[in-house]
Structure 1
Protein backbone atom coordinates (compact mmCIF):
# COMPACT_ATOMS: atom_id res chain seq x y z
CA UNK A 1 0.00 0.00 0.00
CA UNK A 2 1.10 3.53 -0.68
CA UNK A 3 1.31 6.33 1.88
CA UNK A 4 -2.24 7.47 1.08
CA UNK A 5 -3.63 4.09 2.09
CA UNK A 6 -4.51 3.07 -1.47
CA UNK A 7 -3.11 0.07 -3.29
CA UNK A 8 -0.48 0.84 -5.97
CA UNK A 9 -1.22 -2.36 -7.95
CA UNK A 10 -4.03 -0.99 -10.17
CA UNK A 11 -1.92 2.00 -11.26
CA UNK A 12 1.03 -0.25 -12.14
CA UNK A 13 -1.22 -2.20 -14.53
CA UNK A 14 -2.36 0.92 -16.42
CA UNK A 15 -0.50 2.93 -19.05
CA UNK A 16 -1.29 5.96 -21.23
CA UNK A 17 -3.05 5.02 -24.46
CA UNK A 18 -0.65 6.90 -26.74
CA UNK A 19 2.36 5.41 -24.97
CA UNK A 20 1.00 1.87 -25.26
CA UNK A 21 0.25 2.27 -28.99
CA UNK A 22 3.81 3.49 -29.51
CA UNK A 23 5.39 0.72 -27.39
CA UNK A 24 3.34 -1.94 -29.21
CA UNK A 25 4.78 -0.54 -32.48
CA UNK A 26 1.46 0.37 -34.07
CA UNK A 27 2.77 3.91 -34.69
CA UNK A 28 6.28 5.10 -35.45
CA UNK A 29 6.27 7.97 -32.97
CA UNK A 30 4.42 8.68 -29.78
CA UNK A 31 3.33 12.05 -31.16
CA UNK A 32 1.72 10.34 -34.15
CA UNK A 33 -0.11 7.95 -31.81
CA UNK A 34 -1.29 10.90 -29.72
CA UNK A 35 -2.58 12.78 -32.77
CA UNK A 36 -4.56 9.73 -33.94
CA UNK A 37 -6.13 9.38 -30.49
CA UNK A 38 -6.81 13.12 -30.26
CA UNK A 39 -8.56 13.09 -33.65
CA UNK A 40 -11.00 10.47 -32.34
CA UNK A 41 -9.93 7.52 -34.49
CA UNK A 42 -9.25 5.14 -31.58
CA UNK A 43 -11.92 3.25 -29.63
CA UNK A 44 -11.33 1.63 -26.25
CA UNK A 45 -13.87 -1.09 -25.44
CA UNK A 46 -16.21 0.38 -28.07
CA UNK A 47 -16.07 3.97 -26.72
CA UNK A 48 -14.18 6.70 -28.51
CA UNK A 49 -10.98 7.70 -26.72
CA UNK A 50 -10.97 11.46 -26.27
CA UNK A 51 -7.45 12.08 -25.05
CA UNK A 52 -4.04 10.43 -25.39
CA UNK A 53 -3.62 10.33 -21.59
CA UNK A 54 -6.52 7.90 -21.17
CA UNK A 55 -5.32 4.97 -19.08
CA UNK A 56 -5.60 1.46 -20.55
CA UNK A 57 -4.63 -1.91 -19.16
CA UNK A 58 -4.82 -5.64 -19.73
CA UNK A 59 -8.19 -6.80 -21.05
CA UNK A 60 -9.04 -3.55 -22.86
CA UNK A 61 -9.88 -3.89 -26.57
CA UNK A 62 -8.64 -1.16 -28.94
CA UNK A 63 -10.07 -0.51 -32.39
CA UNK A 64 -8.34 1.90 -34.78
CA UNK A 65 -7.33 2.31 -38.40
CA UNK A 66 -3.76 1.88 -39.54
CA UNK A 67 -3.15 2.86 -43.16
CA UNK A 68 -6.20 1.39 -44.95
CA UNK A 69 -6.69 -1.49 -42.50
CA UNK A 70 -8.89 -1.68 -39.39
CA UNK A 71 -6.91 -3.04 -36.43
CA UNK A 72 -8.47 -4.64 -33.36
CA UNK A 73 -6.15 -5.54 -30.48
CA UNK A 74 -6.74 -6.85 -26.95
CA UNK A 75 -4.12 -5.58 -24.51
CA UNK A 76 -2.34 -8.42 -22.71
CA UNK A 77 0.34 -6.41 -20.89
CA UNK A 78 1.10 -2.72 -20.33
CA UNK A 79 4.73 -2.95 -21.43
CA UNK A 80 7.78 -1.23 -20.01
CA UNK A 81 9.69 -0.07 -23.10
CA UNK A 82 9.58 0.14 -26.89
CA UNK A 83 11.55 -2.99 -27.60
CA UNK A 84 12.01 -5.21 -30.64
CA UNK A 85 9.02 -6.39 -32.66
CA UNK A 86 8.67 -9.84 -31.01
CA UNK A 87 8.58 -8.16 -27.59
CA UNK A 88 5.99 -5.65 -28.83
CA UNK A 89 3.80 -8.41 -30.31
CA UNK A 90 3.67 -10.09 -26.89
CA UNK A 91 1.84 -7.01 -25.52
CA UNK A 92 -1.38 -7.66 -27.45
CA UNK A 93 -3.61 -10.28 -29.04
CA UNK A 94 -4.45 -9.35 -32.64
CA UNK A 95 -8.20 -9.69 -33.27
CA UNK A 96 -8.16 -7.87 -36.63
CA UNK A 97 -10.28 -9.28 -39.43
CA UNK A 98 -8.34 -10.75 -42.32
CA UNK A 99 -8.08 -8.43 -45.33
CA UNK A 100 -10.53 -9.40 -48.05
CA UNK A 101 -9.18 -10.32 -51.45
CA UNK A 102 -11.35 -9.49 -54.43
CA UNK A 103 -9.40 -11.70 -56.83
CA UNK A 104 -6.72 -14.35 -56.35
CA UNK A 105 -4.78 -13.35 -59.47
CA UNK A 106 -2.24 -10.58 -58.91
CA UNK A 107 -3.15 -7.36 -60.62
CA UNK A 108 -0.34 -5.46 -62.26
CA UNK A 109 -0.21 -1.76 -61.38
CA UNK A 110 0.40 -1.07 -65.08
CA UNK A 111 -2.12 -3.02 -67.13
CA UNK A 112 -0.87 -4.06 -70.57
CA UNK A 113 -3.07 -3.17 -73.52
CA UNK A 114 -2.71 -4.68 -76.94
CA UNK A 115 -0.29 -2.57 -78.96
CA UNK A 116 0.30 -0.07 -76.16
CA UNK A 117 3.10 0.25 -73.68
CA UNK A 118 6.64 -1.02 -73.82
CA UNK A 119 6.97 -4.65 -74.95
CA UNK A 120 8.65 -7.22 -72.73
CA UNK A 121 11.89 -8.90 -73.78
CA UNK A 122 9.95 -11.97 -74.90
CA UNK A 123 7.63 -9.82 -77.00
CA UNK A 124 10.64 -8.01 -78.54
CA UNK A 125 12.23 -11.32 -79.58
CA UNK A 126 8.95 -12.33 -81.18
CA UNK A 127 8.79 -9.04 -83.07
CA UNK A 128 12.41 -9.43 -84.26
CA UNK A 129 11.70 -12.89 -85.71
CA UNK A 130 8.81 -11.47 -87.71
CA UNK A 131 10.95 -8.70 -89.16
CA UNK A 132 11.68 -8.98 -92.90
CA UNK A 133 15.04 -10.67 -93.53
CA UNK A 134 15.32 -11.98 -89.95
CA UNK A 135 15.69 -15.64 -91.02
CA UNK A 136 17.71 -15.10 -94.22
Structure 2
Protein backbone atom coordinates (compact mmCIF):
# COMPACT_ATOMS: atom_id res chain seq x y z
CA UNK A 1 0.00 0.00 0.00
CA UNK A 2 1.42 3.40 -0.90
CA UNK A 3 1.97 6.23 1.59
CA UNK A 4 -0.62 8.40 -0.16
CA UNK A 5 -3.36 5.80 0.24
CA UNK A 6 -4.25 4.94 3.80
CA UNK A 7 -6.90 2.41 4.65
CA UNK A 8 -9.83 4.44 5.93
CA UNK A 9 -11.83 2.17 8.21
CA UNK A 10 -14.20 5.05 8.97
CA UNK A 11 -15.56 4.89 5.41
CA UNK A 12 -19.25 3.95 5.52
CA UNK A 13 -20.36 0.61 4.04
CA UNK A 14 -21.21 0.71 0.33
CA UNK A 15 -23.44 -1.33 -1.95
CA UNK A 16 -21.39 -3.83 -3.95
CA UNK A 17 -22.80 -2.66 -7.29
CA UNK A 18 -21.96 0.97 -6.51
CA UNK A 19 -18.46 0.04 -5.36
CA UNK A 20 -17.67 -2.03 -8.48
CA UNK A 21 -18.80 0.94 -10.59
CA UNK A 22 -16.83 3.52 -8.55
CA UNK A 23 -13.71 1.33 -8.68
CA UNK A 24 -14.13 1.19 -12.48
CA UNK A 25 -14.37 -2.59 -12.87
CA UNK A 26 -17.60 -2.11 -14.87
CA UNK A 27 -18.92 0.75 -16.99
CA UNK A 28 -22.41 0.98 -15.46
CA UNK A 29 -24.15 0.11 -12.22
CA UNK A 30 -26.49 -2.10 -14.23
CA UNK A 31 -23.54 -4.17 -15.45
CA UNK A 32 -22.29 -4.41 -11.85
CA UNK A 33 -25.71 -5.57 -10.67
CA UNK A 34 -25.84 -8.28 -13.36
CA UNK A 35 -22.35 -9.49 -12.40
CA UNK A 36 -23.32 -9.72 -8.74
CA UNK A 37 -26.76 -11.26 -9.30
CA UNK A 38 -25.18 -13.95 -11.49
CA UNK A 39 -23.30 -15.07 -8.36
CA UNK A 40 -19.92 -14.19 -9.84
CA UNK A 41 -18.59 -12.26 -6.82
CA UNK A 42 -17.16 -13.91 -3.71
CA UNK A 43 -16.69 -12.01 -0.47
CA UNK A 44 -14.15 -12.87 2.22
CA UNK A 45 -14.89 -11.21 5.55
CA UNK A 46 -13.42 -12.27 8.88
CA UNK A 47 -11.97 -15.38 7.27
CA UNK A 48 -15.33 -16.57 5.90
CA UNK A 49 -16.01 -16.86 2.18
CA UNK A 50 -19.50 -16.29 0.81
CA UNK A 51 -21.04 -15.65 -2.56
CA UNK A 52 -22.71 -12.28 -3.03
CA UNK A 53 -25.90 -12.60 -5.07
CA UNK A 54 -27.72 -9.35 -4.30
CA UNK A 55 -26.50 -6.02 -5.64
CA UNK A 56 -27.75 -4.27 -2.49
CA UNK A 57 -25.32 -6.24 -0.28
CA UNK A 58 -22.96 -3.90 1.55
CA UNK A 59 -19.20 -4.22 1.56
CA UNK A 60 -16.78 -2.39 3.82
CA UNK A 61 -13.12 -1.51 4.16
CA UNK A 62 -11.03 -4.63 4.80
CA UNK A 63 -13.31 -7.00 2.88
CA UNK A 64 -11.77 -9.07 0.11
CA UNK A 65 -13.51 -9.73 -3.20
CA UNK A 66 -12.82 -12.29 -5.91
CA UNK A 67 -14.55 -12.10 -9.29
CA UNK A 68 -13.97 -12.48 -13.01
CA UNK A 69 -14.19 -9.44 -15.25
CA UNK A 70 -13.12 -9.30 -18.91
CA UNK A 71 -12.00 -12.95 -18.67
CA UNK A 72 -9.56 -12.05 -15.88
CA UNK A 73 -9.68 -13.30 -12.28
CA UNK A 74 -9.47 -10.35 -9.88
CA UNK A 75 -8.78 -10.71 -6.15
CA UNK A 76 -8.57 -7.55 -4.10
CA UNK A 77 -8.84 -5.99 -0.66
CA UNK A 78 -11.09 -2.96 -0.26
CA UNK A 79 -9.21 0.09 1.04
CA UNK A 80 -12.01 2.64 0.68
CA UNK A 81 -15.58 2.95 -0.48
CA UNK A 82 -15.25 6.30 -2.25
CA UNK A 83 -17.76 9.06 -2.66
CA UNK A 84 -18.03 9.17 -6.45
CA UNK A 85 -16.91 7.55 -9.69
CA UNK A 86 -13.79 9.59 -10.21
CA UNK A 87 -10.77 9.30 -12.49
CA UNK A 88 -8.80 6.07 -12.75
CA UNK A 89 -6.18 7.16 -10.19
CA UNK A 90 -8.91 7.84 -7.64
CA UNK A 91 -10.61 4.53 -8.40
CA UNK A 92 -7.32 2.61 -8.06
CA UNK A 93 -6.94 4.01 -4.51
CA UNK A 94 -10.08 2.12 -3.44
CA UNK A 95 -8.40 -1.32 -3.50
CA UNK A 96 -5.21 -3.31 -3.54
CA UNK A 97 -4.76 -6.51 -5.52
CA UNK A 98 -4.07 -9.71 -3.57
CA UNK A 99 -3.31 -13.29 -4.53
CA UNK A 100 -6.50 -15.35 -5.00
CA UNK A 101 -7.32 -17.66 -2.09
CA UNK A 102 -10.03 -19.68 -3.84
TM over 0.5: yes
**Alignment partners' CA distance in 1, 2:10 and 2:74:** 26
Q: Please, what TM-score do these two structures have when normalized by structure 2?
A: 0.81
**Alignment partners' CA distance in 2, 1:38 and 1:11:** 28
Counting only pairs closer than 5 Å after superposition, residues 68-83 of structure 1 correspond to structure 2 as 68-83=71-86
- Give 1:36's aligned residue: 35
Higher strand share: 2
Structure 1: 4+ residue segments shifted above 4 A: none
Q: Which has the higher contact order (CA 8 A, sep 6+)?
A: 2
Relative to structure 1, is the Cα distance of residues 12 and 76 closer, same or farther in structure 2, using a 3 angstrom cutoff?
Answer: closer
Give the conservation status (yes or no) of the 8 Å contact 1:70–1:96. Answer: no
Give the conservation status (yes or no) of the 8 Å contact 2:80–2:94. Answer: yes
Q: Which runs of 5+ in 2 are unaligned?
A: 1-8
Larger radius of gyration: 1
**Alignment partners' CA distance in 1, 2:10 and 2:93:** 21
